[in-house]
Structure 1
Amino acid sequence: MQRWMDKKHLNDNYQKLMAQVYNDPDVREFLEQHQADLSEETIDRSSAKLYEYVNARDRLAAGKTVFAPGYQPALIINDHLIDVTYSPTAEQQEKMRSQTVRQRVNAVMMPKMIREANFDNFARDDQRLAALAAAADFTESYESNPKGFHKGLYLYGSFGVGKTYLLGAIANHLAANGFKTTLVHFPSFAVDMKNAIGDNRVAEKLDTVKKAPVLMLDDIGADSMSAWVRDEVLGVILEYRMQSELPTFFSSNFSMNQLETEHLQITQRGDEEPLKAKRLMQRIRFLASEIAMVGKNRRLD
């Protein structure tokens, strides 16, 4: 083997390569710090690890492909030998933190823009300040005492005034501080619940929503509602959350009074059931404070 290496000049190349490794400032500093623990034999036996460290560090600095993307190497002593350990870079740590935060927001059939929604980018005009202030008050109150009962918000107004965006901003703010939120586009969820009947998954899907630590029901009243969805889906969700005193938010184009008289009390079949509508509205009023949002349609900007 030695003769073969000499013939191919591999031995000289290896010696030159390792000379560069041993003269590397980081390697020299590590060896000096641990000279009491390392013999020449130990250093020689660990040459491959020293090379791995220098190679991985330099490739990472140059933006090249590395063995563990997003992780930076470091030299350690392991079982009396030199070894290489990998820890996440600052960029990787931020990526992991962002992923963790995103996982705390369960968005069910919601627009993608709510993933990036935040208070800083919410339009601060006079017509929206009350809603923004109420959102900030809720997050501060909830974060200081998450086990207490906190009324959510019932945001209503015309199309494109930022109701859904504000819900997303609240959810993302809570997520950044360690709290989980579920946002549901209610008309789409109602369709999904009807489809779940054939799969016998109604109870499972309903439990996921009704037991969410913080729940946001978006676009209530956007579509006509069957008696079954009203009573066995929305009614069950509201009853559970009222009894459990769980924070609940709503967005709608209807005011609370309009939602009761123009939507909830009239079924798809045209039947009027004012008592059932009133019962649901009592629960909504218990769970949330009504706030009007007005302004231009920002979806058209």
Structure 2
Amino acid sequence: MMESMGDLLKAWPSGKAITEQAELKLTELLAEPLVEKLRLKYPDLDDQTIRLNLNRVYQYVTEYRNCTNCPGLDNCPNDFEGHYTLLSSESLNGLTQLYDRKVACKKFNARQTEDQIRSRVRSFYIDEKALQRGYSLDEILESDRERTKAVGQILRYIDRTKENGLQEEGLYLAGRFGTGKTYLMCYLLHELAKTGYSGVIVYMPDFVEDLKSLMHEPGKLKETVEMMKETDLLIFDDMGAENLNPWVRDHVLGAILNYRMQRKPTFYTSNYELDALEQHFSFTSKDGDELHKGQRIMDRIRPYVEVVMVKGENKRGRK
């Protein structure tokens, strides 16, 4: 890496306007292809102006070299991470001025865009790595071709939403443990967050347990429920694996789903198909078999989802 111009200047003898070392550095800079291009663009840019702006020109060339051999955004050696110096020149009344400005590089812009996308997605009890990793449908298809139909349904849903706006109907992903249902839902959230939609994904077993403690914190409970009501895309992950009680089923889950019906789409992943989920909702740990309560909650789910059967082998835990 080139030493800084400031270090060079400190090393030069004092009392001389331009030393041999400075002249050598000037000669080197004038021979740089980047400086030659700059002078072609701004014909009034003469040697004297470059001499007077030696530090700016040196930084311009150095940062260009750094970007050409970019070590990655986290290791950016430029003064302002993710930015490089651009020079421009202007002549007025026979006087030529050189101006510099900082410009964000493609990697910095990409990170900013990714940060904006992630800021639109909230998660409850979902491993953050699942949301922050890169998403590749090629990867999930190549590992198991049985998922092709499910992936196609999800891609079509994403396209419909991008073309026509937020849908009333969500998706219900059913399939065995470890077949990639959560991954597919995170992919959907990520793709639609790019379009500007907000999303919340909730891991149901842990969420239900936490709700029991929130019973004693009405303010926090109301804030959580309101967020789930209002978010554009709501995903309940691993529905059916939670240990339900009547209050959670009827007053929390029921209230959220009742509000979102015909307003905003709700999505689910589950090891159960819809009929089996209805049985799960009809039996709670405290009050036994309650068929009508199970049917009531299913009336808020079944008509508002497209079922996606996610087939394939259990990939969980494999390397």
Instruction: Quickly name the TM-score band, shorter chain normalised.
Output: 0.7 to 0.9
2-structure distance, mates of 1:188, 1:238:
19
The question of 1:18 aligning with 2:26 is answered: yes
TM-score normalised per structure 1: 0.84
2-structure distance, mates of 1:140, 1:34:
47
Contact 1:109 1:184 in 2 (8 A): yes
SS at match of 1:128: helix
1-structure distance, mates of 2:208, 2:228:
12
The amino acid across from 1:253 in the alignment is: N
Using the TM superposition, give the Cα deviation of residue 281 of structure 1 relative to its aligned residue in structure 2, in angstroms: 0.4
2-structure distance, mates of 1:189, 1:291:
24
1-structure distance, mates of 2:145, 2:47:
74
SS at match of 1:106: strand
The question of 1:94 aligning with 2:83 is answered: no
2-structure distance, mates of 1:89, 1:239:
46
2-structure distance, mates of 1:126, 1:24:
54
The question of 1:207 aligning with 2:207 is answered: no
Contact 1:141 1:150 in 2 (8 A): no
The question of 1:235 aligning with 2:243 is answered: no
Using the TM superposition, give the Cα deviation of residue 287 of structure 1 relative to its aligned residue in structure 2, in angstroms: 1.8
2:6 maps to what in 1? none
Which is further off, 276-285 or 74-83?
Answer: 74-83
| Pairs aligned (count) | 294
Which is further off, 175-184 or 138-147?
Answer: 175-184
- How does 1:16-55 map onto structure 2 within 5 Å? 16-36=24-44, 42-55=49-62
2:8 maps to what in 1? none
Contact 2:198 2:232 in 1 (8 A): yes
1:66 maps to what in 2? 78
2-structure distance, mates of 1:253, 1:168:
17
Using the TM superposition, give the Cα deviation of residue 235 of structure 1 relative to its aligned residue in structure 2, in angstroms: 0.8
- How does 1:273-284 map onto structure 2 within 5 Å? 273-284=290-301
- How does 1:1-301 map onto structure 2 within 5 Å? 5=13, 11-36=19-44, 42-62=49-69, 63=71, 65-77=77-89, 81-111=97-127, 112-114=129-131, 115-123=133-141, 127-147=146-166, 149-199=167-217, 200-244=219-263, 246-261=264-279, 263-301=280-318
Which is further off, 204-213 or 284-293?
Answer: 284-293
CA offsets, 1:26-51, max 9 Å, x none? 22332343234x57765444333222
Contact 1:75 1:84 in 2 (8 A): yes
2:5 maps to what in 1? none
Contact 2:174 2:273 in 1 (8 A): yes
SS at match of 2:223: helix
2-structure distance, mates of 1:232, 1:157:
28
SS at match of 1:116: coil
The amino acid across from 1:66 in the alignment is: N
CA offsets, 1:222-257, max 9 Å, x none? 02112221122211110111042x111111122222
1-structure distance, mates of 2:59, 2:246:
67
Contact 1:159 1:253 in 2 (8 A): yes
Which ranges of structure 1 fall in alignment gaps of 5 or more residues? none
Gap change, CA 1:49 and 1:300, over 3 Å in 2 = closer
Contact 2:78 2:84 in 1 (8 A): no
Gap change, CA 1:7 and 1:145, over 3 Å in 2 = closer
The amino acid across from 2:110 in the alignment is: E
1-structure distance, mates of 2:14, 2:306:
83
TM-score normalised per structure 2: 0.79
Contact 2:246 2:287 in 1 (8 A): no
Using the TM superposition, give the Cα deviation of residue 151 of structure 1 relative to its aligned residue in structure 2, in angstroms: 1.5
Contact 2:240 2:272 in 1 (8 A): yes
Using the TM superposition, give the Cα deviation of residue 212 of structure 1 relative to its aligned residue in structure 2, in angstroms: 1.2
Contact 2:121 2:189 in 1 (8 A): yes
Gap change, CA 1:33 and 1:131, over 3 Å in 2 = closer
Contact 2:204 2:242 in 1 (8 A): no
1-structure distance, mates of 2:175, 2:31:
69
1-structure distance, mates of 2:198, 2:137:
17
Gap change, CA 1:134 and 1:298, over 3 Å in 2 = same
Root mean square deviation of aligned Cα: 3.0
SS at match of 1:295: coil
